[in-house]
Structure 1
Amino acid sequence: MLAADRPVIVAPMAGGPSTPALVTAAAAAGALGFLAAGYKTPGAVEDEVRQVGGVPYGLNIFVPVAAPADPRPLHEYRRRLEPEARRYGVELPALRLDDDDHYPAKVELAVSYAIPVVSFTFGVPDPAVVRALRAAGSMVLITVTSAGEARRAVAAGPDALIAQAGTAGGHSATTGPHAYRGTSVASEVLAEVRAVTGLPVVAAGGTASAEDVGRLLAAGAVAVQCGTALLLADEAGTRPVQRAAMRSGEFRETVVTRAFTGQPARALRNRFTDTYADAPVGYPAVHHLTAPIRAAAAARGDAGAINLWAGTGFAAARPAPVADLIAGLTP
């Protein structure tokens, strides 16, 4: 199931890029694609699940993150963002410290639809959740970034792990966001995770070519999860402003930032990541604070204040049908 006909998994990319069209096209190309439940209402997720239909696919769910014990840095960050709000003509929302992203409802949806593969990010689901999904017929994966996280994940009883490197685009699954720097590469995290478990391990992070995928498979990965390489796919829902930024040649590097959401995430370096390089930990409170700014910037086509999630291999991304891109990633 994990590798399908090809050893490539199309990563869940929350915020728009992951669409039912992308997932179904990936399945037609012999790969496994993931829908991204993050940021969506259960109703919106259910609608996408129905659109995908009977092809092999996965659904990624965010595990709720505990509210910070000390909210003062978040209140201060809200104050610092006021000039950005004035710049884009928006109002900052009140600080939201508690938000589970409809986690119980999304888990129940996954159980009721017996979704073939369910992956989790930002933490380890309760063993009872894993048992319920497996009883429904789902294969369960948990995303980890270190050996310690892998040990905790294995205790929940999943079928496999995803070893995510710091080179991956978008949010890191790390459960230690204060210390996270995103310096690891996929081969290192794969080896570290495989050293502590006999479960199958999917490698993720920084893959941009068939050679990259082949090296990770040779190192013991059962499949390789790729996201950034598919951002410009015809079927992806990537915003026009990000498509333009990635193709412009003006963005030369990526950085790990908490500026947009309060959780470490790798993005193209822009004005916002430079200005708020010291943003506090606090997902999803920061995500809600910056949402109006990002939406207004995107509407203006201003790439300087939006989260241009991308991994270190972003320069190799190209526009094409997803079938062509998957073929180009297959050794």
Structure 2
Amino acid sequence: MSFLPSRLPIIQAPMVGSLSPLAIAVCEAGGLGSLACAALSPAQLREQIAAIRAATPAPFNVNFFSHTAPPPDDAAQARWREQLAPYYGEIGLELSAAGSGPGRAPFDEAMCAVVEETRPPVVSFHFGLPEAGLLQRVRATGAMILSSATTVEEARWLEARGVDAIIAQGNEAGGHRGMFLTGDIHAQPGLFALLPQIVDAVRVPVIAAGAIADGRGVAAAFALGASAAQIGTAYLLTPQAGRSALHRAAVRAGRDDTTRLTNLYTGRPARGLLTRFMREQGPMSEVAPAFPLATGAVDPLRAAFEKAGRDDFSVLWSGEAAALARETDAGDLTREIWEAARRCAGGVDAALARQLDTARAG
């Protein structure tokens, strides 16, 4: 049924903070569970892969960031700390608590060695692809290789470098934009504009991603040429997602107009639910250091405000379909979405047939 090694053409989007329990539940239901690895150490990655394999024989996906780490910039960090200083004072933190290190690591030699050792069935990348030598080593393990494109140009670039499938990430999607050939967030198409254009432009399978949260969305994506659907936000309220109480509350209150693209948390555009931080300092800021260096000074604020029961600086990544997230088991949700997609596709076909019959009769 699927070009993927999973039984169902549904991928659980890799989301930092969601570890092996979510991937296992989705895998057991027939979907392709995913593990976000950008915030893991090599040792933690080994542990998470071992946990997945101990719980299910099903195939799974590991996802890495492939950005180029920026050089240190003391002046930029100083401006950023100065911008955040009033918040440090408000919550009673010393500004010296502000860090300057990276919050997300790119795919490197150490992570590549773990991939070679553990041989996950699917390896996906965000922000393009790693350098050619590392990519070739991943390919030599036999893994299926996926990567995200936010424009047709990026999709063609990925196909030219031999990926097995392309994830078309619409502007509606939660979390970090996968953009790597452009920095212009205003040029980012929504999924229903982007998807058919990428399908027409490349020969490899295309996976639809961006505010797909139920069977209707999956059926619509397939009607536009997708070969699979990647779903993230819909899983945020499942017990396996590992989300904080503050994040869950924000998702429950989410509407179609309550997310924004922001660079405040990491230095790179990502979609999340509105917070005080985003309202007062952004959502896009010219002062935020380059990705991922903005993270170091924000993390102490996030932790301090969360300790006080407040989400002022919380990272509340979410797509535009937060209102469609459901509080149910992740495995059940995967099966229900696929069955609903099948019913919806059949209903669309029947309705279209009736319309055509009516037009012919007229």
Give the alignment's TM-score, normalised by structure 2: 0.84
SS at match of 1:195: helix
Q: Which residue of 1 aligns with 2:300?
A: 292
Q: Which runs of 5+ in 2 are unaligned?
A: 342-362
In the alignment, which of 229, 232, 240 is matched to residue 235 of structure 1? 240
Please tell me the residue identity of whatever aligns with 2:12. V
Distance across 2 between alignment mates of 1:276 and 1:20? 34
Pick closer, same or farther for the CA change 1:319–1:235 going to 2, 3 Å: same
Q: Which residue of 1 aligns with 2:15?
A: 13
- Structure 1 segment 1-331 matched on structure 2, within 5 A: 2=4, 4-14=6-16, 16=17, 18-53=18-53, 54-67=57-70, 72-90=75-93, 91-96=96-101, 100-101=105-106, 103-175=108-180, 178-181=183-186, 184-248=189-253, 253-277=258-282, 278-279=284-285, 280=288, 282-330=290-338, 331=341
How much has 1:147 moved relative to structure 2?
1.4
Q: Deviations over 1:194-253 (max 9, x none)?
A: 232101111100112201110101211111000000011111111121012222469951
More divergent stretch after superposition (62-71 vs 314-323): 62-71
Pick closer, same or farther for the CA change 1:203–1:248 going to 2, 3 Å: closer
More divergent stretch after superposition (107-116 vs 93-102): 93-102
Structure with the larger helix share: 2
SS at match of 1:285: coil
Please tell me the residue identity of whatever aligns with 2:337. L
Q: Which residue of 1 aligns with 2:359?
A: none
Pick closer, same or farther for the CA change 1:239–1:181 going to 2, 3 Å: farther
Distance across 1 between alignment mates of 2:171 and 2:270? 9
Distance across 1 between alignment mates of 2:198 and 2:153? 9
Give the alignment's TM-score, normalised by structure 1: 0.91
Q: Is the 8 Å Cα contact of residues 116 and 141 (structure 2) preserved in structure 1?
A: yes
SS at match of 2:203: coil
More divergent stretch after superposition (187-196 vs 224-233): 187-196
> Aligned residues: percent identity?
32
Distance across 2 between alignment mates of 1:251 and 1:163? 21
Distance across 2 between alignment mates of 1:196 and 1:126? 24
Please tell me the residue identity of whatever aligns with 1:28. E
How much has 1:267 moved relative to structure 2?
0.6
Pick closer, same or farther for the CA change 1:156–1:168 going to 2, 3 Å: same
Q: Is the 8 Å Cα contact of residues 256 and 322 (structure 2) preserved in structure 1?
A: no
Pick closer, same or farther for the CA change 1:132–1:250 going to 2, 3 Å: closer
Please tell me the residue identity of whatever aligns with 1:63. S
Pick closer, same or farther for the CA change 1:100–1:237 going to 2, 3 Å: closer
Q: Is the 8 Å Cα contact of residues 41 and 102 (structure 1) preserved in structure 2?
A: no
Q: Is the 8 Å Cα contact of residues 27 and 33 (structure 1) preserved in structure 2?
A: yes
CA RMSD of aligned residues (A): 2.3
Q: Is the 8 Å Cα contact of residues 151 and 188 (structure 2) preserved in structure 1?
A: no
SS at match of 1:153: helix
Q: Deviations over 1:83-110 (max 9, x none)?
A: 2222333444343479744632112211
SS at match of 1:305: coil
SS at match of 2:307: helix
SS at match of 1:154: helix
Q: Is the 8 Å Cα contact of residues 67 and 98 (structure 1) preserved in structure 2?
A: no
Distance across 1 between alignment mates of 2:230 and 2:23? 13
Aligned residues: 329
Q: Which runs of 5+ in 1 are unaligned?
A: none
